Structure 1
Amino acid sequence: MNQPKLEVPTELRDLAEKTIEQAEKAFQMFFDAAGKSIATVPGPAADMSRQALSLTEQNMRAAFEHARKLVHATELEEAMRIQSEFLRSQFTNAGEHMRTITAGMMSAATKATEKQS
C-alpha cells in the first residue's frame, strides 16, 4: 500500500526551518534574560525559579526539535510517528519534571522548617 506523500514545496520547508530558527533564538534571548533576572532573587525562591526555568527551556528545546523533524517529514506515516514519539517523550518528561519540582519543594520546606526550629 502506498503511503501518501506530504507534497510541501522546498521553499515552504525552508521558510518553516528559518521561522523555527528565529523563534528558537528569540526564546533563547528570553531564557538568558530570565536567568539573569532570577540571579537577583535571594533564597529558595531563586532555586525553584531556576529549576522551573530550566525545565521550561528543556521543553522548548524539545518542541523546536520536534518542529524541525516535522518540517522534514515526507510521508504522512512519518509525520504521525514523529508526533507520537514527541507526545510520548513529553508525557514521560512531564512525570520526571513533576518529581523534580516536588523534590525541590519538599527540600525547601524542610530547610524552612529547620531554620524555624
Structure 2
Amino acid sequence: MTADKKGFEIPDQMRDFAEKSVDQARKAFDDFIVMTQKAVSNVEESTSAVQSGAADMNRKALGYAEEHVDAAFRFAQQMVRAKDVEEMMKLQQDYLRRQMEQLGEQAREFSDTATRTAQEATKAARD
C-alpha cells in the first residue's frame, strides 16, 4: 500500500471488492428487469387473449341476435298468411322448436368460446 502525500490511496483489495459488488448489483438489477419484462409480456398476452375472446363472443352475440330477429320476422309473415288456427298453432310449434334448438347450439358455442379464451389466457400467463 503506497501512500501519496496528496491524499489517501484506496487499497487494491477494496477496489476489487467494490468493483465486484457493483458488478453483482448490476447483474441482479439486469435479472430483475428481465423477469419484470417477462411478467409484463405474460400479462399483455393474457389480456390480448381475453380481449380476442371477448371480441369473438361479441361478434357471435350480434350474429345470433340478427338470426333471431330474422326468424321472428319470417314467423310473423307466416302467421299473417296462415289459413286457420290449426296452421297457426303448427307454425308456432315449429318456430318455438327451431328457436330452442338454436339457443341450445348458441349456448354451446358461447361455452366453447369462453372455455377456449380462458385456456388461452391461462397458457399465456404461464409462458
**What is the TM-score when the length of structure 2 is the normalising length?**
0.57
- Count of aligned residue pairs for this structure pair: 76
Alignment-mate amino acid for residue 52 of structure 1: A
C-alpha displacement at 1:60, in angstroms? 1.1
Say whether residues 1:115 and 2:105 are aligned partners. no
Moved over 2 A (4+): none
Over residues 48-89 of structure 1, what are the superposed CA-to-partner deviations in whole Å (9 max), with x where a residue is unaligned? 100111111111111111111001111110111000100111
Give the Å deviation of 1:114.
1.0
Asked if residue 93 in structure 1 is aligned to residue 93 in structure 2, the reply is: no
Match of 1:80 among 75, 89, 97: 89
Q: Distance in 2 between matches of 1:43 and 1:91?
A: 28
C-alpha distance in structure 2 between counterparts of 1:92 and 1:47, whole Å: 21
Q: Percent identity?
A: 36
Q: Distance in 2 between matches of 1:97 and 1:70?
A: 25
RMSD: 1.1
Aligned residue for 2:82, secondary structure, equals: coil
Tell me how far apart the structure 1 counterparts of residues 71 and 61 of structure 2 sit (CA, whole Å): 15
Aligned partner letter, 2:86:
E
Q: Structure 1, residues 25-53: CA drift from partner, whole Å, max 9, x if none? A: xxxxxxxxxxxxxxxxx532211100111
Counterpart of 1:43?
A: 52
Name the larger-Rg structure.
2
Question: Aligned partner of 1:88: which letter?
Answer: R
Asked whether the 8 Å contact 2:57–2:113 carries over to 1, the reply is yes
- Residue number in structure 1 paired with 2:74: 65
Letter in 2 for 1:91: M
Q: Structure 1 residue 55 and structure 2 residue 55: aligned?
A: no
Q: Unpaired segments of 5 or more residues in structure 1?
A: 1-41
SS at 1:43 equivalent: helix
Q: Larger relative CO (CA 8 A, sep 6+): 1 or 2? A: 2
Q: Distance in 1 between matches of 2:108 and 2:53?
A: 17
